[in-house]
């Protein structure tokens, strides 16, 4: 059984730049994976020569994008991972919100991985 967890990060960037980085294969390959390809609604993410596939579940431009790993689908797990962001209308600060699921034994390493990914994202946007 995988459990849901959520992470939040404040970013110094414009929503337009962030949208490109989370919503396009080129943008995702700058910080999330080494390479990203899309065929229909299946995204192929590659890290160090290993490929993982995920199905696009939801894409709300200027808001969120959500996928489910194909391996989770095969196990009939009702889980997903999502990258969302909210812009504070008063301060224009951007809050990046990550939602993911992990087995309790993998949760700590999964959170560490997301922290590293977001650090890479911050480096790309110069934040």
- Cα torsion through 57, 23, 31, 94, rounded to 10: -100
Would you state the pLDDT for residue 127? Answer: 75
pLDDT digits (tens, 9 = 90+) for 2-34: 999 999 999 989 899 999 999 999 999 999 999
Ramachandran category for residue 42: left, alpha or beta (phi over 0 → left; psi -120 to 50 → alpha)? beta
pTM of the predicted protein model: 0.93
For residue range 21-71, list pLDDT tens digits in order: 999 999 999 999 999 999 999 999 999 999 999 999 999 999 999 999 999
Locate the domains of the chain by residue range: 2-125
DSSP state of 2: E
Q: What is the pLDDT of residue 74?
A: 86
Residue from 37, 43, 98 nearest 68 by CA: 43
In CATH, which of 3.40.50.620, 3.40.1190.10, 3.40.630.10, 3.30.530.20 is domain 2-125? 3.30.530.20
**Cα 30 from Cα 11, distance rounded (Å):** 16
Q: Flag whether pLDDT at 92 surpasses 90.
A: no
Residue 38 token pair: 């899309």
């Amino acid at each position: 059984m995988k459990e849901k967890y959520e992470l939040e990060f404040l970013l110094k960037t414009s929503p337009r730049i962030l949208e490109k980085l989370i919503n396009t294969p080129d943008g995702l390959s700058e910080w999330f994976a080494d390479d990203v390809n899309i065929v229909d609604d299946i995204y192929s993410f590659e890290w160090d020569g290993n490929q993982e596939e995920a199905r696009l579940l939801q894409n709300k431009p200027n808001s969120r994008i959500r996928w489910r790993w194909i391996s989770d689908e095969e196990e009939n797990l009702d889980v997903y991972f999502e990258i969302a962001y909210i812009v504070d209308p008063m301060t224009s600060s951007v809050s990046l919100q990550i939602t993911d699921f992990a087995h309790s034994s993998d949760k700590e390493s999964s959170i560490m991985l997301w922290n590293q990914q977001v650090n890479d994202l911050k480096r790309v946007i110069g934040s």
